[in-house]
């Protein structure tokens, strides 16, 4: 089996490609390398270019007419950047995504697994796929807008879509073929690793949220578990979105119970064997209690549950962070 992975040189896409290879699936990568890394494409078929380039998509399907499905991981994802450049985000995440769909349909490809985002939900705990959407940033709104378009398109074409919604991927490929390429991640664990390495205290922003210990709650899932979920979506695709089944199906991925900031600190200390210096601060403007999704649908339809613990994700992230600069050659 072959799958086309757009954004296949990025953190998520390249890790899915690694998992595909381990499962006997041949990944075909499409990436413009604007943020993806050429090191992540070694030994893999790469087409460098834009997902909106119809001629390139046609060439890929001419070269590989046996592509079974497409996993679309191509997107711009930095929330503050989306606030500064909303037009660029709508162009990359919506306009070009729609162009990709047009090119896929023209080439007779009707199976699309979309790497979505649980950031489209309102804050809350154990959020189901049927919960109302409340995207709060231009980034999140582009993801919600594209999801809406995909659902409409499946109603009037042969396109079928499984969308996987998740929050913060952590960890790395267990064989360290791929990992987080940025040196300055903005999620809590990334900041924690940075502060730990610099010997600086980690800030806990707000301690009176309506959570089990008062600190904000977020969701973290090992990137290797995410890769497994994408493969499961490809393997179960025709069962869950074909025939009499819905033609568009969102599925949450996550831990199933979320992680508070204090729990993240404790897990980090479990891994390092050292206390993590931290200090309590007031909540920042725009902060909220946080959210995590329910994952019952993923288990029922894909047979998927996370296999890796939070501690394993932290340990993998620390291992990758220690070796990143020997694997990626930054200029």
Number of Cβ within a 10 Å radius of residue 309: 13
Distance CA 140, CA 138 (A): 6
Would you please indicate which residues are annotated as catalytic (active-site) residues? 139
What lies within 8 Å, CB to CB, of 64 at 6+ separation is 2, 4, 28, 45
This prediction's pTM: 0.95
pLDDT of residue 26: 98
φ/ψ region of 214 (left if φ > 0, alpha if ψ in -120 to 50, else beta) reads left
Grade residue 283 by pLDDT with cuts at 50, 70 and 90: confident
The enclosing H or E element of 251 equals strand 248-252
What mean pLDDT is predicted for residues 54-82? 96
pLDDT of residue 185: 78
Residue-wise pLDDT for 229-248, tens only, equals: 999 999 999 999 988 888 99
pLDDT exceeds 60 at position 28 = yes
pLDDT of residue 22: 97
127 neighbors 252 (Cβ within 8 angstroms): yes
**Tokens 């990992």, residue?**
179
What lies within 8 Å, CB to CB, of 62 at 6+ separation is none
Query: Which neighbouring-strand residues pair with 259?
Result: 218
Return the biggest CA–CA distance within the chain: 57
180 neighbors 11 (Cβ within 8 angstroms): yes
236 neighbors 303 (Cβ within 8 angstroms): yes
What mean pLDDT is predicted for residues 310-328? 94
pLDDT exceeds 80 at position 294 = yes
In Å, what is the CA distance from 18 to each residue of 137, 146, 245, 304, 320? 31, 27, 30, 18, 15
pLDDT exceeds 70 at position 331 = no
pLDDT of residue 121: 95
Residue-wise pLDDT for 123-176, tens only, equals: 899 999 999 999 989 999 999 999 999 999 999 999 999 999 999 999 999 999
Grade residue 289 by pLDDT with cuts at 50, 70 and 90: confident
Grade residue 327 by pLDDT with cuts at 50, 70 and 90: confident
Angle at 145 between CA 229 and CA 132, to 5 degrees: 75
pLDDT exceeds 90 at position 102 = yes
The enclosing H or E element of 160 equals strand 160-165
Grade residue 69 by pLDDT with cuts at 50, 70 and 90: very high
pLDDT of residue 286: 73
């Amino acid at each position: 089996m072959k799958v086309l992975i757009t954004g296949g040189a990025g953190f998520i896409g390249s890790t899915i490609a690694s998992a595909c290879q381990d499962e006997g699936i041949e990944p075909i990568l499409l990436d413009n390398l604007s943020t993806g890394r050429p090191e992540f494409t070694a030994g893999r078929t790469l087409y460098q270019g834009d997902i909106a380039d119809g001629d390139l998509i046609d060439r890929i399907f001419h070269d590989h007419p046996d592509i079974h499905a497409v996993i679309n991981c191509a997107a711009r994802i930095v929330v503050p950047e989306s606030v500064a450049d909303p037009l660029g985000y709508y162009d990359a995440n919506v306009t070009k995504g729609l162009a990709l769909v047009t090119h896929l349909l023209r080439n007779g490809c009707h199976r699309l697994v979309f790497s979505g985002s649980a950031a489209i939900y309102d804050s809350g705990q154990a959020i189901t796929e049927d919960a109302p959407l409340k995207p709060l940033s231009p980034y999140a709104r582009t993801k919600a807008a594209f999801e809406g378009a995909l659902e409409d398109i499946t109603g009037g074409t042969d396109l079928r879509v499984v969308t996987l919604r998740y929050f913060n991927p952590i960890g790395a490929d267990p064989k360290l073929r791929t990992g987080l390429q940025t040196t300055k991640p903005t999620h809590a664990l990334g900041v924690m690793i940075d502060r730990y390495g610099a010997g600086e205290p980690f800030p806990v922003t707000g301690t009176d949220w309506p959570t089990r210990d008062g600190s904000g709650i977020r969701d973290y899932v090992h990137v290797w578990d995410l890769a497994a979920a994408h493969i499961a979506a490809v393997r179960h695709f025709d069962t869950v979105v074909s025939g009499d089944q819905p033609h568009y199906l969102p599925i949450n991925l996550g831990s199933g119970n979320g992680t508070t900031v204090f729990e993240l600190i404790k897990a980090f200390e479990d891994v390092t064997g050292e206390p993590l210096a931290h200090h309590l601060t007031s909540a920042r403007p725009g902060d909220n209690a946080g959210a995590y999704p329910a994952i019952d649908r993923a288990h029922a339809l894909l047979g998927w549950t996370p296999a890796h613990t939070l501690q394993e994700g932290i340990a993998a992230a620390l291992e990758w962070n220690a070796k990143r600069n020997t694997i990626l050659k930054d200029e």
